Amino acid sequence: MTQEKATFAAGCFWGVESMFRRLDGVLDAAVGYTGGTTVDPTYEDICHGDTNHAEAVEVSFDPARISYEALLTAFWNCHNPTTRNRQGPDVGSQYRSAIFCHSPAQQTAAEASRDQHQLKLGTHHPVVTEIVAADTFYRAEEYHQRYLEKHGRGHC
């Protein structure tokens, strides 16, 4: 079995992780921090927005069972990519919309997918999602992993 990684930021990572875990072909999903400047950050470090990390989900998937494009569709459908540094009541750069690409093929697919999503939304609602090369992913503290599953709350 081939395994690939995809990393997405779409606001608070708990709901995003839960959503990706439900997709057939997703082998694992972990919440963490990426895209910032501090080495080995903690939740306390990033929660003020000073490290430039985003709360993100690293998805391990089997491309024979689910395509990267299907993951992108799920990503666009689970959050509002037109609000800069905000999702619902969560405000700050750590809640930004971003796709962290692990290969040039992912970069190309993400850009094409963004452009298609923008066409659906029209010009009055510009997509502000960052599309950048994947950086070091720092797994969040264990109490954040599968948080909604452990606490029986809703999801994305």
Q: Is 47 a catalytic residue?
A: no
What is the rounded distance in angstroms from the CA atom of residue 40 to the CA atom of residue 154?
29
Local structure of 12: helix, strand or coil: coil
Pseudo-torsion of CA 67, 113, 30, 43, nearest 10°? 180
Distances (CA, A) of 148 to 17, 27, 71: 9, 18, 20
Catalytic hit among 12, 78, 101, 156: 12
Q: Cα 113 to the chain's mean position, in Å? A: 15
Catalytic center residues: 12
